[in-house]
């Protein structure tokens, strides 16, 4: 795959990211401000999907036999192996421990 392949397009990435952020922000708004019926509807739809996202994230960033993340690289040239748990998993864990009021959810 080359940099010009549509799969690596910055515009495609931006559209994908914007769509995901928009969907998450909409769900967050409903959860923070919606009535009970709307909250239940969003929770039913999104919790299972977000659970699948978390599992996929954990699978992608699972440690290899040496305890390094199988996906992440660090260092000046991106060649250094990164010990697990890596940043994506630490960010996820941190997000779970921050009260929703500090995370801007309410
Ligand atoms: Zn990783």
Q: Which string of DSSP letters, residue by residue, matches 7-32? A: GG-HHHHHHHHHHHHHHHHHHHHHHH
Cβ-proximal residues to 34 (8 Å cutoff; 6+ apart), any chain: 42
Domain presence at residue 47:
yes
- Domain extent for 3: 1-56
Ligand 1 centroid to residue 90 C-alpha, Å: 9
* Residue among 66, 42, 50, 57 at smallest CA distance from 90: 57
Distance of CA 92 from the midpoint of ligand 1 (Å)? 12
Q: Are residues 65 and 51 in the same domain?
A: no
- Answer whether residue 104 is part of any domain: no
Residues of the chain with pLDDT > 90, as a percent, come to 58
Which residues 6+ apart lie within 8 Å of 86 measured at CB? 61, 69, 71, 72
At 35-75, the pLDDT tens digits run: 999 999 999 999 889 899 999 999 999 999 999 999 999 98
**Domain shared by 45 and 77, yes or no:** no
């Amino acid at each position: 795959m080359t940099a010009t392949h549509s799969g690596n397009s910055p515009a495609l990435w931006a559209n994908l990211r914007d769509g995901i952020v928009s969907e998450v922000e909409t769900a967050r708004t409903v959860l923070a401000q919606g009535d009970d019926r709307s909250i239940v509807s969003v929770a039913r739809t999104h919790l299972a999907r977000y659970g699948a996202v978390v599992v996929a994230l954990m699978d992608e960033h699972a440690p290899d036999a040496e305890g390094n993340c199988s996906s992440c690289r660090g260092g000046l040239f991106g060649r250094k192996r990164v010990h697990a748990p890596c940043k994506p998993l630490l960010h996820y864990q941190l997000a779970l421990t921050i009260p929703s009021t500090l995370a801007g959810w309410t």
